[in-house]
Amino acid sequence: MRFLNNKIEFPSVEEATDEGIIAVGGDLSTDRLLLAYKRGIFPWFEDDKAILWWSPDPRFVLYPEELRVSKSMRQVLRNCSFTVTVNRAFPQVIEACAEIKRNGQSGTWITNNMTEAYIELYKMGFAKSVEVWENNELVGGFYGLDLGNNVFCGESMFSKVSNASKAAFITFVQNTNYKIIDCQVYTQHLESLGGRSISRETYLSYL
């Protein structure tokens, strides 16, 4: 594990700890973030703490062709009043992801600095949001990065009504041509949709 300075660089991912931490410190400049994602690294840390950079092994991903949609979810998608859009409300989506309360978490890792950095990446064309609307109200969605290499790096999702984030994710996966969706770390929610673990080496081969 390496301590970063002002120079925009990262050590080899082989230097990561068993937990997946590869470096500490640095900043959230767009140049550093883009370099990180291109090398299979992402930031994840608590507010008021040093920035932690991760490259976990194994990596949790979803192959679009392996997407699982339950019978009940197919009925929801057919019968619900959701409208799904892309890149219509990126700032609102990332702010909602930061504000949503999650089981087992007392705060958010989406700090103000991180929010500003990803909004800047959105303006540059690298970050993307998917929104779910119901009666013209934003009720769910997620955001992530698209580096133009057939990999979508998912970051965070939120849902204010039942099944909204699932609707966003399923619709997005079914209507895009990515080879792989990077989910970073395991969650039961994404596993239910077809996510699985692959080796870090395999993940890096897609980048």
pLDDT tens for the chain, 207 residues long, are 899 999 999 999 999 999 999 999 999 999 999 999 999 999 998 766 789 999 999 999 999 999 999 999 999 999 889 999 999 999 999 999 999 865 544 445 788 999 999 999 999 999 999 999 999 999 999 999 998 999 999 999 999 999 999 999 999 999 999 999 999 999 998 999 999 999 999 999 999
Query: What is the maximum alpha-carbon separation in the chain?
Result: 53
CA separation for the pair 75, 72 (Å, rounded): 5
Burial label, 100 (beta-carbon count in 10 A; 0-12, 13-18, 19+): middle
Class of domain 60-206: alpha beta
Strands 83-86 and 59-62 turn out to be: unpaired
CA separation for the pair 138, 125 (Å, rounded): 22
In 3D space, the residue among 169, 184, 170, 139 whose CA is nearest the CA of residue 42 turns out to be 184
- The CATH number, out of the four listed (3.30.70.3550, 3.40.50.300, 3.40.190.10, 3.40.50.1970), of the domain defined by the range 2-56: 3.30.70.3550
Annotated domain spans of the chain: 2-56, 60-206
User: What pTM was computed for the model?
Assistant: 0.92
pLDDT of residue 104: 46
Q: What angle do CA 194, 152, 172 make, to 5 degrees?
A: 60
pLDDT of residue 80: 87
Structural contact between residues 155 and 144, judged by C-beta atoms closer than 8 angstroms: yes
pLDDT of residue 101: 67
* Residue-wise pLDDT tens digits, 72-107: 999 999 988 999 999 999 999 999 999 986 554 444
